[in-house]
Every structure is written in C-alpha cells, then in structure tokens.
Chains A and B, each alone.
Chain A
Amino acid sequence: SRRKISKDEL
C-alpha cells in the first residue's frame, strides 16, 4: 500500500 499523504512540502 502507498504512503499516506503528508503536507511536508512548501
């Protein structure tokens, strides 16, 4: 399964 979305971008 794919990794959960994280808003770690700018």
Chain B
Amino acid sequence: MNAFRLAGDMTHLLSIILLLHKIRAMKSCAGISLRTQELYVIVFVTRYVDLSMKYYSFYNSIMKIVFLGTSISIVWYMRYHKVVKQTYNKDVDTFRHIFLILPCFVLALLINRAFTVIEVLWTFSLYLEAVAILPQLVLLQRSRNIDNLTGNYVFLLGAYRAFYLLNWIYRFFIENHQVRWIPWLSGLLQTAIYADFFYYYIKSWKNREKLKLPA
C-alpha cells in the first residue's frame, strides 16, 4: 500500500471520527445532512457485499466493517437518539435521495465491467459515492453558521478521494496497474464536486474567518 492510499483511508477514517465526536460528545448533528449519511450507508452496503465472499487483507476487512458500522450508527443517532435528533436541520435537508440513486443505478446497469449482481452493485456504489455529498453541500449552503467540526468533516471527506486520485496515478505509473476507468472517473467527479467548498474552506482558514458558503 502506497502513502497516498494510506493518507486517503486515514482522512476518510478521521472524517468519520470527527462526525462521531460531534454526535456523541456534543450531542449534536446540526449542519449534517441525514440524506448524505443515508446515501453513504447504501454506498458501503452495496460496495462491500463481497465482504463475506472475498478476503483481501485483515486491514481491508476491518476498514470495511468500520465504515459499515459507523455509517449505520451515524444514521441511527440522527434518526432515533432523543437528544441528537432534535438538533437535526430537517427543514433545510430537503434534497431527494431518489434523484441521485435512480440515475446512478441506471448508469451502473448500462456502464459496468461485467453484467453480474456483484459488479453492478459495486459500480453503482462508486457512482453514488461520487454524488452522495451533494445534499450535504446544499445544506451547508443554506446554513448561516457552519461550525468548525462540520467544516473540517466535509474537508476531510473531500480530501480522502483527492488522495485516492494520487494513489491511482501512483499505482498506474509506478506499480504498473491496469486502467480502471470507472473508479478513476467517478473519483475525479467526486473530488471536483468539492472544488467550490475547498476554495471557501481554504480562504476562510487563511483569513481566520468563520466558514460561510455563498448562497
């Protein structure tokens, strides 16, 4: 495993730890989109269906279990925890899941490496992951104050796929791996969606101002 891949996984893990800290210690999910969190559950469930069938490494299996478990528990807290659920900005989190799920599923049926259940679900999970942040970004744009934890969470979540892009470049040129258009292009789109957020995040950090996205 190269350093970019590890950096990607660690920023992904750190983003989840930050979000869980906000939820468990601060008892708040203010500014967090339940829609996006539910999409991540779908992403992990459809991508890791091979968990019980194929073994890659101890690291790989543990990380998959962690991503599945944490994403499900985040959704549970936001929906059912009696204190946390009251901090959820329900009225502004209005992005409809189906507008992302349906096109991604149709695209996965049409463009995939092999027309098998596992392969189509895996492809679907990559397409869906690329756009799953959209409800979260819409929610941030509608929020007046974005607290530091939420801003850092979204930043780390975006940085994770950017590191994966570097990892894919490294694997292609240095480790001589094959071309993998589906994850590469999905990952590129996923990172590009964050471009605007990255710009305002870095700007607010440089000017030591509170993060605010223009409407």
Contacts and interface: CB of A to CB of B under 8 A. Distances in A.
B124 interface: no
Nearest to B183: A9
B64 A10 contact: yes
Given A2-B178, A3-B178, A8 B9 contact: no
A5 B178 contact: yes
Nearest to A5: B178
A9 to B, nearest CB: 7
A2 B177 contact: yes
B209 interface: no
A3 to B, nearest CB: 5
Contacts of A2: 176-179
A8 B5 CA distance: 11
Contacts of A5: 177-178, 180
A10 to B, nearest CB: 5
Contacts of A3: 175-178
Contacts of A8: 56-57, 60
A10 B176 contact: no
Nearest to A2: B178
A10 B9 contact: yes
A6 B176 contact: no
Nearest to B160: A10
Given A3-B175, A7-B122, 7 more contacts: A3-B178, A5-B177, A6-B56, A7-B56, A8-B60, A9-B5, A9-B167
Interface of A: 2-10
Interface of B: 5, 9, 12, 50, 54, 56-57, 60, 63-64, 67, 122, 164, 167, 175-180, 183
